[in-house]
Structure 1
Amino acid sequence: MHPPVDPIIFEIGPFALRWYGLLMAAAIIIGSTLASREVARRGQDPENFWDMLFWIIIPGFIGARLYYVFIQSPRTAEGIGYYLSNPLKILQVWGGGIHIFGGFIFGGLALWLFTRLRQLPTLVYLDAIAVSLPLAQAIGRWGNFINQELYGPPTDLPWGLRIDPNRRIAPYNDLSAYPESVRFHPLFLYESLWNAIGFCLIFWLSERFKAQLKPGDLSLVYLLWYPLGRFFIEFLRTDSWFFPGTPFNMVHILSFAAVVTATVLLYRRHRPTAVKT
């Protein structure tokens, strides 16, 4: 497996249209369209969702980028020092380098603030996003494929990913130990497939158990499903900073906390009540 196209579609002077940005835009448009329909299906005005989208996207991208720069980047070729020496590079998200957990934090705060100011039901909007977000993530991950990022350690599996030497991080950029014939785990593919399955699951639940679901349930299912897969995928990451002497990083902690919290809340919301006699 190898990226079949150049990351840049075309350039006009200093401006370039990149596959990464195009795929991210497609993911946002498709996911947002589906979410707006989910909002309408729940009896809310979809125009409020489109207004809210601008509140979410900008803080979400800022949070996603800052998380990458200050937490994720120490294992990359750039590293924190590179970004601190070139602060304008922090703004260049089109070349890759964002992290979904930072987007969750900043975007979630923006959504909460917007719904409070507009006096809208926060959980209803969160559920609509929970239905569509896995699909958007599944699409967006293919930008990592074209950029030759989000790959794991070497593998002999038939779907191993070829990474150009100039896109590798240490120690895999040592061609004497890891020649160009070496293939790597395509973590972007694993996560894309996990998200696609999650989308099908959450969408099915939203239809099959419509009458039994409470506002916020689908959001909790998402917070259980996505971090569960991400927890195990993180063990294969080659570009993360891990706690010294351990195979764990910050995403493991956040994912574990999300899965446990979502599981407990779902159980408490739907646990059977004892029948009094």
Structure 2
Amino acid sequence: MDLAYIPSPSTGVINLGPIPLRGYAFCIILGVFVAVWLGNKRWIARGGTAGTVADIAVWAVPFGLVGGRLYHVITDYQLYFSEGENWVDAFKIWEGGLGIWGAIALGAVGAWIGCRRRGIALPAYADAIAPGIVFAQAIGRWGNWFNQELYGKPTDLPWALEISESGNRVAGLYHPTFLYESLWCVGVGFLVIWADRRFKLGHGRAFALYVAAYCVGRAWIEYMRVDEAHHILGLRLNVWTAILVFLLAVVYIVVSARVRPGREEIVEPRSQKAAEAAEAAGDAGDAGDTEKDAAEDAAEEAPKDAAEDAGAVSEDASRDASPDGKKDASEEADGAERGAGTAAKG
């Protein structure tokens, strides 16, 4: 008798009146919100402006959803295009089925378009949103729990996942690989945040670290899964994909560190120009204040100087009008007459 296990939801849909709220879609939306929120905080801390991450996400998210769905449909085409299957189901994204490899690849194309429109380098943007993306993956994996999919081999562990019988599912207790991957993603997110603070990762290396670390976990978790998948040389296709992407990410980190060491000083040219303009405006304002103060000082001193000059003139005039002043003038006149008489005699 099993005393402990993780129960699965009886349904993946909650009806809010006429509106169906699907657990899978809700987890995806919540994950996108967390990714944008955390990415915005990290972008601002790097010197960018608020709102830039969300503006670029408007391009990246739709591209990522399309890419994720395309990867899933292409790699599991038999689920939609084989005999007895309905190809229309390929468009029912709410029923599950998003490949992270396609989501990241095509999402990067959307992010590149958004970055070019704002004059931003894609690697700097990728570094800022890397932890948010992997936390979004951790949340999104709970959508698989709602749909009772992506579980592992049978197990009797206390944290086994209960799966009910339906369609191609066999009732039983299985490894909760969705939970393993969710917890792994949380660990990767904190690893990237720590390494970025410790080593000042730049030029896309924080994003590459996220990719490499995620691939390590995805490889062993993928190996535990029992859902239908294509195999190459005895390994599931996604295991080979994880190995290849891991190698590419490691090579990028090594080469990038040698070619472009350090971290970008300016991540958003527009914000830098705005800061310089604000600084210039501040300097101009200080100069204006200095001129204003000088003018006010001159205005205050002018009446005072004029009053002093007027007082001096008045004092001279009063002195001239005094009896002594008159006496001095009379003496000067007598002296002039005597001088004139002497000159006449000579």
Which TM bucket (shorter chain)? Answer: 0.7 to 0.9
* Kept after mapping to 1: 8 A contact 2:55/2:114: no
Deviant stretches of 4+, over 6 Å: none
Aligned partners of 2:98 and 2:227: how far apart in 1?
12
Could you tell me how far 1:64 is from its partner in structure 2? Answer: 0.9
1:221 and 2:222 are equivalent in the alignment: no
Could you tell me how far 1:224 is from its partner in structure 2? Answer: 0.7
Change (3 A) 1:119 1:84: farther
Aligned to 1:207: 197
Aligned to 1:70: 74
Aligned partners of 2:105 and 2:34: how far apart in 1?
22
* Larger deviation, residues 112-121 vs 223-232: 112-121
Aligned partners of 1:149 and 1:241: how far apart in 2?
13
Partner residue of 2:179 out of 182, 186, 189? 189
1:90 and 2:90 are equivalent in the alignment: yes
1:237 and 2:255 are equivalent in the alignment: no
* Larger deviation, residues 19-28 vs 246-255: 246-255
Which of the two has greater helix per residue? 2
Aligned AA for 1:164?
A: S
Aligned AA for 2:24?
A: Y
Aligned partners of 2:61 and 2:211: how far apart in 1?
19
Give TM-score scaled by structure 1 length: 0.83
Note the 1:147-186 alignment, pairs <5 A.
147-166=147-166, 168-169=168-169, 173=170, 180=171, 182-186=172-176
Give TM-score scaled by structure 2 length: 0.68
Aligned to 2:141: 141
Could you tell me how far 1:167 is from its partner in structure 2? Answer: 5.5
Aligned partners of 2:174 and 2:238: how far apart in 1?
21
Could you tell me how far 1:118 is from its partner in structure 2? Answer: 2.9
Aligned to 2:338: none
SS for the counterpart of 1:9 is strand
Aligned partners of 1:166 and 1:147: how far apart in 2?
11
1:265 and 2:252 are equivalent in the alignment: yes
* Kept after mapping to 2: 8 A contact 1:142/1:189: yes
1:23 and 2:27 are equivalent in the alignment: yes
Aligned partners of 1:167 and 1:226: how far apart in 2?
31
Could you tell me how far 1:190 is from its partner in structure 2? Answer: 0.8
Change (3 A) 1:162 1:125: same
* Kept after mapping to 2: 8 A contact 1:7/1:146: yes
Aligned partners of 1:33 and 1:73: how far apart in 2?
35
Could you tell me how far 1:240 is from its partner in structure 2? Answer: 4.0
Aligned to 1:110: 110
SS for the counterpart of 1:24 is helix
Structure 1 residues 223-250: Cα deviation after superposition (integer angstroms, max 9, x where no partner) = 1101111111111222242226x43233
User: Which ranges of structure 1 fall in alignment gaps of 5 or more residues?
Assistant: 174-179, 272-277
CA RMSD of aligned residues (A): 2.2
Aligned to 1:176: none
Structure 1 residues 134-185: Cα deviation after superposition (integer angstroms, max 9, x where no partner) = 111111111111211110121122211111110544xxx3xxxxxx4x3111
1:81 and 2:82 are equivalent in the alignment: yes
Could you tell me how far 1:7 is from its partner in structure 2? Answer: 1.2
Aligned partners of 2:40 and 2:16: how far apart in 1?
33
Aligned partners of 1:247 and 1:100: how far apart in 2?
22
Change (3 A) 1:155 1:203: same
Change (3 A) 1:132 1:253: same
Change (3 A) 1:121 1:82: farther
Could you tell me how far 1:5 is from its partner in structure 2? Answer: 5.3
Structure 1 residues 42-87: Cα deviation after superposition (integer angstroms, max 9, x where no partner) = 112232221111111111111111211221353xxx4433797432
Aligned AA for 1:208?
A: R
The answer to which structure, 1 or 2, has the higher relative contact order (CA under 8 A, 6+ apart) is 1
Aligned partners of 1:242 and 1:86: how far apart in 2?
19
SS for the counterpart of 2:226 is coil
Aligned AA for 2:234?
A: P
Aligned partners of 2:182 and 2:75: how far apart in 1?
22
* Kept after mapping to 2: 8 A contact 1:73/1:240: no
Q: Which has the larger radius of gyration?
A: 2
Could you tell me how far 1:205 is from its partner in structure 2? Answer: 1.5
* Kept after mapping to 2: 8 A contact 1:9/1:18: yes
